[in-house]
């Protein structure tokens, strides 16, 4: 059984003391591929994500500007250059966050638009961060023709009817450990109804650790628990969930599965 953690932050300071052990535990758990999302710390995260992807052949990188950082002074030309690196398989995470609202909304929109256009320029899919902004994100993606490269709504925040709209514009959804929470009934219902062909798995480590690790630092090995929950909700074997979600991710990120 092989799993793909399609959204982790191994470059985060929370992993500075034991990063290599965390990677070893992921491999031991059957998590054979990871996508490190570099979209914070004034592009330092993007650079560090690429370094990880250069060091480990089973780790891939994305680069972007998180909506929380959209108000900072950032060099778009540098991001543009990083986006062309051969180990970079996606742009993001980018999007809009009106829940935290840590950056001015006009800056969030500006950087989101820039990154949609960048994704189209380098022909790489988008990783979308959306909190209380599903409608706004969707409309902007449609307006700017993001269906040409597709993307994924990470930490999927909506129901199955919105996922159906996303399918029409070539977008996937990914579920983190929240899917295992007892109070996540609406999300679990969505996961039941959304076709498995549209689903990928993630941890968002070091955040959102699944049950039975809830409240602890999350790491990529824990994606197994989310896979188990999805298998339970779908009423299918865990091996099928692992195989199909991994195939989905390999296809989505244009990664050779060999």
Residues 132/105, Cβ–Cβ less than 8 Å: no
- Find residue 88's DSSP bridge partners: 61
% of the chain beyond a pLDDT of 90 = 97
**257 CB-side CA count, 13 A:** 13
Domains and CATH numbers, the chain: 3-252 (3.20.20.140)
Q: Is this model's pTM higher than 0.85 or not?
A: yes
Question: What is residue 141's predicted lDDT score, i.e. its pLDDT?
Answer: 98
On the question of pLDDT at 183 being above 60, the answer is: yes
User: Whole-number mean pLDDT of the chain?
Assistant: 97
DSSP E strand stretches across 10-53: 31-38
């Amino acid at each position: 059984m092989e799993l793909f953690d399609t959204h982790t932050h191994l470059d985060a300071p929370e992993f500075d003391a034991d990063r290599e052990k965390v990677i070893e535990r992921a491999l031991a758990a059957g998590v054979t591929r990871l996508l490190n999302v570099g979209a914070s710390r004034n592009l330092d995260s993007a650079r560090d994500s690429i370094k990880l992807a250069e060091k480990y052949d089973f780790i891939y990188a994305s680069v972007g500007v998180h909506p929380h950082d959209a108000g900072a002074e950032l060099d778009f030309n540098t991001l543009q250059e990083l986006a062309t690196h051969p180990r970079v398989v996606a742009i993001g995470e980018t999007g809009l966050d009106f829940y935290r609202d840590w950056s001015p909304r006009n800056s969030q929109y500006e950087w989101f638009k820039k990154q949609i256009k960048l994704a189209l320029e380098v022909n790489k899919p988008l990783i979308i961060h959306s909190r209380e902004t599903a409608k706004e994100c969707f409309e902007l993606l449609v307006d700017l023709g993001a269906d040409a490269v597709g993307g994924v709504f990470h930490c999927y925040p909506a129901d199955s009817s919105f996922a159906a709209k996303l399918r029409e514009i070539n977008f996937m959804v990914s579920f983190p450990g929240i899917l295992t929470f007892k109070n996540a009934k609406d999300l679990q219902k969505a996961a039941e109804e959304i076709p498995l062909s549209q689903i990928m798995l993630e941890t968002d480590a070091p955040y959102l650790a699944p049950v039975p690790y809830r409240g602890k630092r999350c790491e990529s090995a824990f994606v197994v628990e989310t896979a188990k929950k999805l298998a339970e909700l779908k009423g299918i074997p865990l091996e099928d969930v692992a195989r199909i979600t991994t195939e989905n991710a390999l296809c989505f990120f244009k990664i050779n599965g060999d």
